[in-house]
Structure 1
């Protein structure tokens, strides 16, 4: 209250700096305004900024962690793909070997069948040759007997 009385008192004029009650009153107003601004605006804005920074840092940390997980999964999948390719190559190689084995077996069976058929044909030809030889020998003997009989009769 005394400050208010001092503020209302007459002000002598003429000095470079007038030191009266307005200076402390202005200082109190600045402190009060600073306190009100701090309570009403700066703290809530500061809290929002801090929350946002916390959210950003948390999001960044989560993103880094997820990126590390993705890189690990990518490495695991690359390893699995490499294993699958090797397994597929082994299966293909096995199939080629099996195909080659079956081809050789079929070729050997065909050769054996051809040889057997050739031997049977050779035996049949030999048998027919012997049969024809025997038959011709009989006909030759008969014809020579007929020729001899005719020559002796003439």
Structure 2
């Protein structure tokens, strides 16, 4: 303890902070040495890690741009395929409608032909029956006329 008191009582040496003895070069060497040690132990690994992360980010960004471009190409291709599929579907719908219209018209024509045939057959049948009825009526009228004439002649 006494040595501390003696040192404290001795006071500060002359010159203070800017004394040009061996302290200034020793401090400069310590700062340079500390800089190299800190650079080797801390700054280089941190810098290397930062560079690796920047490299990873730039690589990831480039890959993302490539994938985005590929996705956009695929999307354009799919849109084109969708347009083509819609056009094909519309063409098939038009073809089906035309086929349906053709079948409808042919079925309608067949039905009309059958109806006309049935109507013509019915008209012939009616004509035949009418002719037969007329012939029968004419025969009955002739017979009744003859009967009336016979009775009138017989009554006179």
Confirm or deny a common fold (TM above 0.5): yes
Pick 1 or 2: higher relative contact order, CA cutoff 8 A, min separation 6: 1
Q: Distance in 2 between matches of 1:64 and 1:108?
A: 65
Q: CA offsets per residue over residues 35-79 of structure 1, 9 Å max, x none?
A: 100110000000000000001001100110111011111101110
What's the counterpart of residue 55 of structure 2? 54
Q: C-alpha displacement at 1:19, in angstroms? A: 2.4
Q: Distance in 2 between matches of 1:42 and 1:64?
A: 32
State how many pairs are aligned. Answer: 143
Q: Distance in 2 between matches of 1:19 and 1:72?
A: 74
Task: Assess, with a 3 A threshold, how the Cα gap between structure 1 residues 16 and 24 changes in structure 2: closer, same or farther.
Answer: closer
Stretches of structure 2 lacking an aligned partner (at least 5 in a row)? 1-12
What's the counterpart of residue 149 of structure 1? 150
Q: CA offsets per residue over residues 91-132 of structure 1, 9 Å max, x none?
A: 111121112112211211121111111101100110001111
* Structure 1 segment 1-154 matched on structure 2, within 5 A: 13-14=14-15, 17-154=18-155
Backbone CA RMSD of aligned residues: 1.7
- Give the alignment's TM-score, normalised by structure 1: 0.86
Task: Assess, with a 3 A threshold, how the Cα gap between structure 1 residues 26 and 96 changes in structure 2: closer, same or farther.
Answer: same
